[in-house]
Amino acid sequence: MLGRLRRCARDWAQTRPEWGLAGNAAFIAAPRARTRAVDLQDRAFLHDYDWRQDAGGKVLEQIMTAPMVVAHWINLQYFTSTTDNLRFGSGNKLLHNVVGGHIAVFEGNGGDLRIGLAGQSLHDGQQWMHRPIRLHVVIEAPRAMIDQVIAAHAVVRDLVRNGWLHLLRLDGLPARLELRTVGGWQPLSTG
């Protein structure tokens, strides 16, 4: 059974393996207890992270520069492929011809290179499987730790400064959220 599952996962003829990522909307780096009782509807990437066990913030730096960035890439690919599939998607997966290994695809035997997601990855024939929304990143850590990573890494700084994702800081019990803007941290109203 496991062998069959692996074969299907690698089989380009399978039309909808990407639905596991469709609907992604959030990336959460916080103690698992924060989300355990919350129905996230399979829309969040979760990292069990406790800043109290991260002296110096090295783990947070790794989280924000690797898995957070990858989650953004995934989110942006679904976002753009859904909002403008003709320009940023790749058409019908059944007609794809791979170019240059894994650089892009042609739909059919020619035309423009297509780089986004196929229609079957986004639509079931009746409705969109992904609702385009910019990734919401929620991190439970002190402002200074998060700001240190933003200051040290241009890729993270650009994502936040240019609004490619929404960076939120989770704090306290009951939980409070703050949004990181160009001007600093802004509390979000809960009412």
Per residue of the chain (191 residues), give pLDDT as tens.
778 877 776 776 665 666 778 899 999 999 999 999 999 998 999 999 999 999 999 999 999 999 999 999 999 999 999 998 888 888 777 777 777 777 777 777 777 777 788 888 888 889 988 899 999 999 999 999 999 999 999 999 999 999 999 999 999 888 899 999 988 999 987 55
Coil/strand/helix, residue 170: strand
Peptide bond into 17 cis (omega under 30): no
Measure the CA–CA gap between 58 and 88, rounded to whole angstroms.
35
Angle at 175 between CA 166 and CA 43, to 5 degrees: 45
Q: Where are the domains of the chain?
A: 22-91+130-187
**Chain centroid, CA 144 distance in Å:** 24
Contact predicate 165/139, CB 8 Å: no
Q: So what's the pLDDT on residue 16?
A: 63
Q: CA torsion 81→87→88→94, rounded to 10°?
A: 70
Coil/strand/helix, residue 166: strand
Q: So what's the pLDDT on residue 15?
A: 58
Measure the CA–CA gap between 23 and 84, rounded to whole angstroms.
16
